[in-house]
Amino acid sequence: MLYERNDCNMDYNELVREALKAKEMAYVPYSNFSVGAAVVTTHGKVYRGCNIENASFGATNCAERTALFKAISEGDRDFEAIAIVSSSGDFTPPCGICRQVMAELMPKGKIILANDKGETKIYELDDLLPVRFDL
């Protein structure tokens, strides 16, 4: 077992498996770089997200934001963790925009990165975005 939290009773390995499922849904005709994310709420509900590209690159949305925005749109606001995987085979940390969104929506959540070898790294948001914008 990678890591288990009693708050939501979800094994983080299962969250990585959910992110892998999400990765398969990515729409990436330009980069061929698929990313999947799965966020789990403190009460154990999982939302998946994938990256969705657009010919107008500014309209592209990352997997992490897709998962978080799906959860928010369904009324969930309390997040335990997010798992992120990609087609690169290596660890893929969230981009700066996603880190800023996480700072607002899940400031205390864990960020789990997994690679194709089954290895994982777990971060706190402060590790990835120590100085952030806030109002």
Report the catalytic residues: 64
Task: Summarize the chain as % helix, strand, coil (round to 5).
Answer: 30, 25, 45
Q: How far apart are CA 7 and CA 44, in angstroms?
A: 8
Q: How far apart are CA 133 and CA 135, in angstroms?
A: 7
Is 62 labelled a binding residue? yes
Is 50 labelled a binding residue? no
What are the tokens at 40? 């789990």
Q: Do 81 and 109 meet the contact criterion of CB atoms below 8 Å apart?
A: yes
Binding residues for Zn(2+) are 62, 95, 98
